[in-house]
C-alpha cells in the first residue's frame, strides 16, 4: 500500500472511530443539551491534515462542516437551514477577522516577520550566530542554548516563540539540528514556561478565571493563592521541561524525530518535501555590503523586551503603584501583581513589535549602512510572508468559534458526568482538557470553558470544601490544555512555532506529538495518580526523570553528534 493510501485509510479510521465512540456515549450527554456530532469538525480537520498535508484545505473542511452541523441536523429537510449555514460561516469569519485581539495577533506576526527579515538582511542575526558559535560547539550544546533562551523569554509565549525561533534558527542550521527538533524545543519551552512562571501574561489570564470560580463556589481563597496551590501539581509543564534536558543530554531520539535528526546530521536540516508556512528566514540573506555587527539585532530585540516590560507595567497599573512606593520597581511581588493584572498584553506586544521594527530599520540604515531600496525589498518580503500564516490562523480561529457554538468541549465534559472515582478524576480532567485543546486549537479557550465546569464536580467530590481534588483538577485543566495545544495542528502557538523556525507545520506536529504524549503519560503515571496518595513533587520529578531515562535507553536510539 502506498504512503498516500495508507494516510487516507488512517484518516478514515480516525473519523469513523471517533464518530462511533461519540455516538455511543450520546445518551449520557443528552441531558446536557449537547450532541455527539459536535466533535466532527475538528476530527475532520485533523484527519484531512493527516491524509492530505494540506492544512488550509483541512481547516476549511472543518469550518464548512461545522457551519452545516450548526443549522442542518435540527432541520434536515428545510432548505432554509442549509442556506443558514452560509450565513453562519460568513458570520463567524467576520467575527474572527474583526476581533481586536485576533487582529492584534495577526499584526504582531507581520511586525515580527518584517523585523526579522530586516535584521537578517543587515547581518544582525549572522553576527549573533558568530558570537554564539563559540558556545554552540555541536548539536547538543546548540539545543541546550535554545532551551535556556526559552527560559529567558518567559514573559509571554508568543514573544518566546518568535524571538527564540527566529534567532536560533541560523545557529541550529549551522550545527545540523533538524528544523523539527528546533521547533519542538521552541514550542515546548513557550507555553509550559509562561504557564508556570510566577510572572507572565498567562498568569493574569489563569488567575482571572480562578477568581470567578472562587467567587462562584465560595472558596474564600484569593485567586493568586489558588494558582500557587496548583503550581506543585502542574506535572505536564514541569515534566516537559525535565524531559527536554534529559532528551538533549542523552542524544537519544525516537519516532519521526529520530528520522529527522539523522537526516539533519547528513546536511538536510529540512525535509525535501517540507512546505514552509513562511519562507522569510530562508529567502533572505545578509546583504554583501552590510557591516556585520550584533548591534543591528541587539537593539531591535532589546527594544522589544524593554517596551514589552514597560508596557505591561503601565497596563497593569504599575504607574500608580510606583507613585505610592518608588521601590516597587525592585519588588518581585509588585512586578508579579502588575504583570498579572495587565489586560492588553497582545496590544503591548504590537507596540513593542512596531518600535522594534522601526529600530531595525534605523539600525539597518545607520549601522549596517544599507541602501533604502534593499530595506524596502526586505520589508515587502517580510510582510508578504505573513499572508499564509494569517490564513491558517483565521481558519483555525473560525473552527474554534464554531466548536464553541456546537459545544464541543461541554460534550466532552458531559460524557464523563460526576460519577467518576475520586482517584481518577484529575486524570480524566487532564485527558478531556487535552482533547478539547486538540480539537479547538486553543489552550486559553479550553481553560475558560473547563475550569468552571470541572471545578464544580471536583468541589462536590471534595465534600463541598476547597480540597486536594479541586486543586489538582485546576492544575489538570491548565496542563491538559497546554498538552493538547502541543498536539493540535490548529493551535496558534504551534503554528507560530513552525513559522519562527521555518519548519514544515505538519512535520512539526507529527514529530512533536510522540514526545508530548510521552510526557503526558508520565504526568499521569508519575504525577497525578501518585499525588492523590500524597507523593511530594520532588519525588514525582525523580520518578519522571527515571522514567524518561529508562525509556530513552531502552526504546530510543542515539543520534551521532
All three cell numbers of 85, joined, read 449555514
Q: 399: closest CA among 436, 344, 345?
A: 436
Residue 170: the pLDDT is: 84
Has residue 513 got a pLDDT over 90?
yes
Instruction: Classify the C-alpha dihedral 447-449-455-457 as positive or negative.
Output: negative
Q: 449: closest CA among 469, 489, 478?
A: 478
Residue, of 184 and 138, whose pLDDT is higher = 184
Has residue 247 got a pLDDT over 80?
yes
Q: 21: closest CA among 37, 10, 33, 4?
A: 37
Has residue 203 got a pLDDT over 70?
no
All three cell numbers of 275, joined, read 512546505
What digits encode the pLDDT tens for the residues 294-305? 888 889 888 888
What digits encode the pLDDT tens for the residues 77-113? 566 667 777 888 888 889 888 888 778 878 877 887 7
Question: Mean pLDDT score of the chain, rounded to an integer?
Answer: 81
Position 30 confidence tier, pLDDT thresholds 50, 70, 90: low
Position 7 confidence tier, pLDDT thresholds 50, 70, 90: low
Residue 53: the pLDDT is: 61
What digits encode the pLDDT tens for the residues 309-364? 788 788 877 777 777 777 777 676 777 677 667 667 678 878 888 998 999 999 98
Residue 150: CB atoms within 10 Å: 27
- Whether the CB-CB separation of 232 and 523 falls below 8 Å is answered with no
Give the residue-averaged pLDDT of 212-239: 81
pTM for this prediction? 0.71
Has residue 463 got a pLDDT over 70?
yes
Position 262 confidence tier, pLDDT thresholds 50, 70, 90: very high
Amino acid at each position: 500500500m502506498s504512503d498516500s493510501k495508507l494516510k487516507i485509510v488512517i484518516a478514515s479510521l480516525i473519523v469513523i472511530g471517533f464518530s462511533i465512540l461519540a455516538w455511543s456515549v450520546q445518551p449520557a450527554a443528552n441531558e446536557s443539551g449537547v450532541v455527539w456530532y459536535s466533535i466532527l469538525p475538528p476530527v475532520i480537520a485533523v484527519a484531512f491534515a493527516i491524509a492530505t498535508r494540506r492544512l488550509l484545505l483541512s481547516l476549511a473542511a472543518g469550518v464548512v462542516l461545522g457551519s452545516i452541523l450548526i443549522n442542518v441536523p435540527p432541520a434536515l429537510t428545510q432548505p432554509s437551514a442549509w442556506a443558514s449555514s452560509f450565513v453562519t460561516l460568513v458570520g463567524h469569519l467576520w467575527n474572527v477577522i474583526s476581533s481586536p485581539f485576533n487582529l492584534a495577533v495577526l499584526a504582531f506576526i507581520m511586525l515580527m516577520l518584517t523585523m526579522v527579515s530586516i535584521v537578517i538582511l543587515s547581518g544582525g542575526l549572522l553576527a549573533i550566530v558568530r558570537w554564539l558559535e563559540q558556545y554552540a560547539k555541536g548539536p547538543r550544546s546548540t539545543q541546550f542554548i535554545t532551551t535556556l533562551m526559552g527560559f529567558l523569554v518567559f514573559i509571554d509565549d508568543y514573544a518566546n516563540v518568535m524571538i527564540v525561533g527566529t534567532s536560533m534558527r541560523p545557529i541550529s542550521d549551522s550545527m545540523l539540528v533538524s528544523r523539527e527538533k528546533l521547533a519542538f524545543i521552541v514550542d515546548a519551552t513557550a507555553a509550559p514556561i509562561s504557564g508556570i512562571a510566577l510572572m507572565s501574561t498567562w498568569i493574569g489570564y489563569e488567575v482571572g478565571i480562578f477568581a470567578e470560580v472562587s467567587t462562584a463556589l465560595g472558596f474564600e481563597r484569593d485567586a493568586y493563592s489558588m494558582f500557587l496551590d496548583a503550581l506543585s501539581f502542574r506535572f505536564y509543564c514541569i515534566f516537559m521541561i525535565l524531559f527536554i534536558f534529559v532528551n538533549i543530554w542523552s542524544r537519544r531520539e525516537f519516532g519521526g524525530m529520530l528520522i529527522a535528526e539523522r537526516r539533519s546530521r547528513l546536511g538536510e536540516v529540512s525535509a525535501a518535501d517540507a512546505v514552509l508556512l513562511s519562507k522569510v528566514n530562508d529567502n533572505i540573506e545578509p546583504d554583501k555590503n552590510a557591516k556585520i555587527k550584533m548591534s543591528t539585532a541587539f537593539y531591535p530585540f532589546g527594544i522589544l523586551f524593554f517596551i514589552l516590560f514597560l508596557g505591561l507595567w503601565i497596563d497593569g497599573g504599575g504607574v500608580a503603584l510606583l507613585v505610592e512606593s518608588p521601590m516597587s520597581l525592585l519588588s518581585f511581588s509588585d512586578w508579579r501583581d502588575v504583570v498579572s493584572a495587565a489586560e492588553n498584553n497582545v496590544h503591548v506586544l504590537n507596540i513593542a513589535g512596531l518600535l522594534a521594527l522601526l529600530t531595525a530599520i534605523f539600525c539597518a540604515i545607520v549601522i549596517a549602512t544599507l541602501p533604502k531600496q534593499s530595506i524596502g525589498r526586505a520589508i515587502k518580503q517580510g510582510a508578504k510572508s505573513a499572508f499564509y500564516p494569517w490564513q491558517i490562523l483565521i481558519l483555525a480561529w473560525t473552527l474554534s468559534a464554531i466548536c464553541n457554538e456546537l459545544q464541543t468541549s461541554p460534550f466532552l465534559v458531559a460524557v464523563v458526568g460526576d460519577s467518576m472515582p475520586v482517584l481518577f478524576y484529575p486524570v480524566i480532567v487532564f485527558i478531556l482538557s487535552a482533547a478539547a485543546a486538540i480539537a479547538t486549537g486553543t489552550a486559553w479557550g479550553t481553560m475558560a470553558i473547563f475550569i468552571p465546569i470541572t471545578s464544580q464536580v471536583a468541589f462536590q467530590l471534595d465534600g463541598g470544601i476547597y480540597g486536594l481534588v479541586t486543586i489538582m483538577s485546576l492544575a489538570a485543566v491548565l496542563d491538559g490544555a497546554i498538552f493538547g495545544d502541543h498536539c493540535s495542528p490548529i493551535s496558534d502557538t504551534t503554528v507560530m512555532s513552525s513559522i519562527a523556525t521555518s519548519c514544515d507545520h505538519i512535520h512539526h506536529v507529527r514529530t512533536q506529538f510522540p514526545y508530548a504524549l510521552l510526557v503526558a503519560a508520565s504526568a499521569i503515571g508519575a504525577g497525578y495518580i501518585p499525588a492523590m496518595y500524597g507523593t511530594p513533587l520532588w519525588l514525582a520529578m525523580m520518578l519522571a526523570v527515571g522514567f524518561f531515562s529508562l525509556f530513552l535507553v531502552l526504546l530510543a536510539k542515539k543520534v551521532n553528534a
